[in-house]
Structure 1
Amino acid sequence: MDISGNTIFIPGATSGIGLALAHALKERGNTVIVGGRRTELLERIAAEGLETVRIDTTDADSVQTAAKDVLARFPATNVLITMAGVMRVEDWHRPESFLESAEGIVTTNILGPIRLIAAFVEHFQTRPDATIMTVSSGLAFAPLKVTPSYNASKAAIHMLSESLRLQLADTSVKVVELEPPSVQTDLLPGQAENDHAMPLDEYVAEVMNIIETQPDAHEIQVERVKFLRYAEARGDYEQVVAALNASDPH
């Protein structure tokens, strides 16, 4: 993915990593369209100089409507970053305490990206250079015990990304996977103040550096996430999982 000169749609970028990344990409000479559900947040973001589109990735019709809007207003769109995602603490001892949460996570974190990719993939194949950037997590590779559905959803996104990269290799569409570690955002209550999490500005700066210096990278991995990403390959998976869960504040 080139660092500049793109038209980028980022659904789920009204806060956290998505919004910070949207601003950083705009500063590097890209047109950036932020998608989100809440009108008041979109109005504030528009006032900051970003383009906006209302979208609810849990609603298939909303995805189709938003995609048509984006492509009508910004036909040069060539990058999709499937940022929308949710993370919840769950207790799987009793189904009444986790089933609704798990279903919601699957809808947002797996069906959402699938719907988005389906809405843009044909258009992207008409562009000379296009990128689908999925968003998984370090927890796709080593589990945090209190977030089982989130871990599983991100593992699914990892394998989806690997598979799509193979299928789309005969097209102009690149598939890149963003793999964040724990970052100081509001993804979970208290995470923004968690000393174990990576500061947001440091994370986005390192991501931008990787995009600029490694434009052909298949996986965007800051140094901090490699502890989780390569645990199994290093042979210290059990120790990594133990350390991860020992530091969990929940």
Structure 2
Amino acid sequence: MSIDSAKTILVIGATSGIGRALALPLAALPSKPTVIAAGRRQERLDELASQGLEAVQLDVAASREVLQKNVADILAKYPNLDAIILASGIQYQHNFKSGINLDEIHQEFTVNYFSIVTLVSLFIPHFLALSEKGLPSWISPITSGLALMPAPQVINYSASKAALHSFSESLRVQLADTKINVLEIIPPLVESELHDAQGTTEALSKFWMPLDEYTSKTLDGLRKGDKHIAVGTAGKVWDKVQSSGLDGPYKV
């Protein structure tokens, strides 16, 4: 089922990158949903609010108790919330031969995986209640083509996204008898601030998909209700995974 039917969409990680790029055109859909931009940086939230979006400050790396309060506050203010896009992510380079930063290892998994699972678990009761009323909802984690084919230079990032991909596949099966739709967004290498801190922007810009092009194709997949929205090189890798017959969890 298409996200075109959503009434209120929360984009977590909307202050930069893919999250920000998706938030604005989602608000311009013909159905005119309310779009809530959530992220850490207040100045960027203010900018999005000036363009007609709702804005909520939320740090996915916060404690479980803080995230519980964040979700409770969001649902109290937006009881019609029926879609979440989970776009938060960080990336570091690690080389085990030259030594690694374990703080960065843990931070990567906290932001890219543990926080997403925590947020999904907190929103699920609300979405199940909608389902019992016959109303659809959508959960859209953003993973990566590196979840399917890892890049050794970002060894832990690839692992965190592989964990989130696996989680998304199994979550879809667990929710198959409900009206909750799990649409996994699987980006290729995309133009993003994600690479600035590592100093790899100039090199990667020769290969990445421009953000505008990526956003258009991903929005099209969301509007079609595709369970796996993989475009560019990620789409080619996903096609190989599907052709192998290993494109989902065991059915038991």
Note whether the superposition's TM-score is higher than 0.5: yes
Cα separation, 2, equivalents of 1:191 and 1:23 = 24
Q: Are residues 1:218 and 2:219 paired? A: no
Is this contact kept in 2: 1:84–1:112, CA < 8 A? no
Q: Are residues 1:113 and 2:116 paired? A: yes
Which residues in structure 2 correspond to 1:121-200 (within 5 Å)? 121-127=124-130, 128-189=135-196, 190-191=200-201, 194-200=205-211
What does residue 100 of structure 1 align with?
Answer: 103
- CA offset digits 1:194-232 (Å, max 9, x no partner): 0200000000101112222x22x2101114322333445
Is this contact kept in 1: 2:6–2:137, CA < 8 A? no
What does residue 244 of structure 1 align with?
Answer: none
- RMSD over aligned Cα, in angstroms? 1.7
CA shift for structure 1 position 69: 1.6
Cα separation, 1, equivalents of 2:25 and 2:109 = 29
For the residue of structure 2 that corresponds to 1:163, the secondary structure is helix
What does residue 14 of structure 2 align with?
Answer: 13
What does residue 25 of structure 1 align with?
Answer: 26
CA shift for structure 1 position 129: 0.4
- How many equivalent pairs are there? 232
Cα separation, 1, equivalents of 2:95 and 2:122 = 35
Is this contact kept in 2: 1:17–1:185, CA < 8 A? yes
Is this contact kept in 2: 1:142–1:229, CA < 8 A? no
Provide the TM-score with structure 1 as the length reference: 0.87
Could you tell me which runs of 5 or more consecutive residues in structure 1 were left unpaired when the two chains were aligned: 236-250
Is this contact kept in 2: 1:139–1:228, CA < 8 A? no
For the residue of structure 1 that corresponds to 2:4, the secondary structure is coil
Cα separation, 2, equivalents of 1:125 and 1:94 = 47
User: What fraction of aligned residue pairs are identical, expressed as a percent?
Assistant: 34
For the residue of structure 1 that corresponds to 2:88, the secondary structure is coil
Is this contact kept in 1: 2:6–2:82, CA < 8 A? no
For the residue of structure 1 that corresponds to 2:60, the secondary structure is coil
Could you tell me which runs of 5 or more consecutive residues in structure 2 were left unpaired when the two chains were aligned: 245-252
